[in-house]
Amino acid sequence: MSTLHSSVYAMALLGCVLLLFFVRQTRHRTRYPVALLFLLTLNFSFEWLMANPSTPAKPLWLSSVMAIALFLGPCLWLYGRSISDPVPPRLRDLPRSHFLPPAIGLLLLLPLVERTHFGTGFAVPGRVPDPTHALWVHGTMLACVALFAVQAGYYLRASVRILKKHAGVAKALLSDLEDRELNTLRLLVFVVGAHWVVGIARALHGWMLGKEAGFFELFAISEVMIALWAMISLMRSAVLVDAGDRRLAHEIAGSKYTKSALDEPTRTRIVRKLADAWDHKVHLDSRLTLRLLCERLRENPHYVSQVINQDLGTSFYDLVGRQRVRDAMDRLASQPERPILEIALEVGFNSKSTFNAAFRLHAGTTPSEYRDARRQSSSCTTSGPAG
């Protein structure tokens, strides 16, 4: 292995350690992000040991890398459930079927572990290779890679379903979401997908072309860059829905609107109260949630959610966003010199990117384009010919 190869993993290891230390100092609500970072730290440690030309026991480090890969998918899936379920999942509550693939994978790696020696290569020094034994070792390794491919695909699909549902829950409960928060799903796909694709490609590359074909450094750089970028973003971008709101979301999702049909007076009263709330500018509070709004309206959250979805045909997130964009349009037109970010924060958005996305959705243009159009319209009006 080249110095570049080992240096890439050394930098990745340092990055994971620093990120793990940073995450430990923050107020993350679950242990699974820390566990995920710890697994990545171990992974890059073993990758560095395997890539370093002078390190002994390379079969042991390779088997360790392959073993860790079997736990990344489950850890990501548990992390996805921890930010979507009302109660974070516990390992002892999981069905036994989730423990079966890692157990089988570890058994398949035993022939590779048995080849461990204190030389600096994979082959045992001074021993004549046994073709039958070598075929058995490589066969079990490929079987482990195939198991990882199936297992990672399952957890990838499961995470997609969980976080798609979570994105919908967040939009039903929260009034403001960062764009990067809604990309949590995409980041999880990148983390699992990077290890999935790179791991399989590296295994097939080594099996079909040999270790000296020249692409291992490219695999290493790709894996490190994708994993670190995704993990850093993941730590910053989880959609934070507190326990009370998560319980409310599951209560709303579990109650069928048809079973609690609202009468017309109740619907009319809730619509009127919502209009009064917008007139009193409650949407300017960036921390506004469905639960807080319902406390102010003194209405049942289930009923308010039903009216927003059925009578108004939208989600809580989009409804509040529409009111904020309307206020922003007035400010952009009447205060043309004020910074756009200042106006965005004033009307309840937490970032300019979120404001731009909502403005384009509800106004059909960007804030800058809208302001420029109003300036041009005002200029044409004032410079037009007198009657």
Phi/psi for 2 (5° steps) reads: -85, 165
Average pLDDT of span 326-346 = 92
Average pLDDT of span 72-87 = 79
What domains does the chain contain, in order, with CATH numbers?
A: 3-242 (1.20.1070), 244-383 (1.10.10.60)
Taking 90 as the threshold, does the pLDDT of residue 331 lie above it?
yes
Helix axes 290-297, 243-254, angle to 10 degrees: 80
Taking 50 as the threshold, does the pLDDT of residue 181 lie above it?
no
Q: Band of the pLDDT at 299, cuts 50, 70, 90?
A: very high
Of 115-129, 238-252, 358-372, the least confident = 238-252
Average pLDDT of span 85-103 = 83
Q: So what's the pLDDT on residue 28? A: 45
Q: So what's the pLDDT on residue 152? A: 83
* DSSP tally for the chain: helices H, then strands E: 17, 0
Mean pLDDT of the chain: 77
More confident residue, 119 or 230: 119
Average pLDDT of span 117-138 = 80
d(CA 106, CA 104): 5
SS3 labels along 131-178 = HHHHHHHHHHHHHHHHHHHHHHHHHHHHHHHHHHHHHHHHHHHECCCC
Taking 70 as the threshold, does the pLDDT of residue 1 lie above it?
no
What pLDDT, in 10s, does the model give residues 107-124?
Answer: 999 999 998 888 887 777
Q: Band of the pLDDT at 351, cuts 50, 70, 90?
A: confident
Give percent of the chain above pLDDT 90: 25
Give percent of the chain above pLDDT 70: 67
* Cβ proximity of 255 and 140 under 8 Å: no
Average pLDDT of span 3-22 = 60
Taking 70 as the threshold, does the pLDDT of residue 93 lie above it?
yes
Nearest to 117 by CA among 127, 108, 109, 107: 127
Average pLDDT of span 189-193 = 66
Q: How many CB atoms lie within 10 A of CB 238?
A: 20
Taking 80 as the threshold, does the pLDDT of residue 249 lie above it?
no
Q: So what's the pLDDT on residue 182? A: 46
Q: So what's the pLDDT on residue 27? A: 47
Q: What is the dihedral angle through the alpha carbons of 255, 261, 265, 270, rounded to the nearest 10 degrees?
A: 30
Average pLDDT of span 242-261 = 61
Q: Band of the pLDDT at 385, cuts 50, 70, 90?
A: low
More confident residue, 315 or 89: 315
